[in-house]
Structure 1
Amino acid sequence: MTAQPYRTKSVVDETFEAEKAQIETDMREAQSLPINEYLGFLGDYGRVLRNMADAYESHEVAHGILLRHCDAALDRIAHENDAETYGA
């Protein structure tokens, strides 16, 4: 396996599809954790997002995009769970 070159990707025209798919998977898996583990997972996930963003030349821009996607994924999953639980 070849290591990802450090900060070689441009954010211009990037859709971050691979990263967004991984975030979605991670957030869905995190939902099954006990609350203490879930909170610890979320607390550490910022490091994961930083690592993902470090592949991009504009890593701060990439980090902001990935962080917003992560927040939106958590909101969407919570809404889905509420709909299943409460029929809302």
Structure 2
Amino acid sequence: MDIALSDAKAQLTDLVRRAEAGEEIVLTRHGAPVARIAAIKPQLSPEQKKARIDAIRASVRTVPGDGVSAARSQDFLYDESGLPK
């Protein structure tokens, strides 16, 4: 939402509430954007950051399964001497 700076003065409380709800508020002066009102995301504590990192690391740990090796998966494209067929 774009709003003139002079109009925003009277509506500041409402504009801040709208920004907190996720709306982007752009203040303009003579039609040109000059500032943005946006909600501040809450900062995580070091313990919360570590817990998130640990959860991500745990979710990507996988055991390699049996299957075709990627190194040999395209062998049918080449002859015995390694040249393309």
TM (norm. structure 1) is 0.27
Q: Which has the higher helix share?
A: 1
Larger Rg: 2
More strand by share: 2
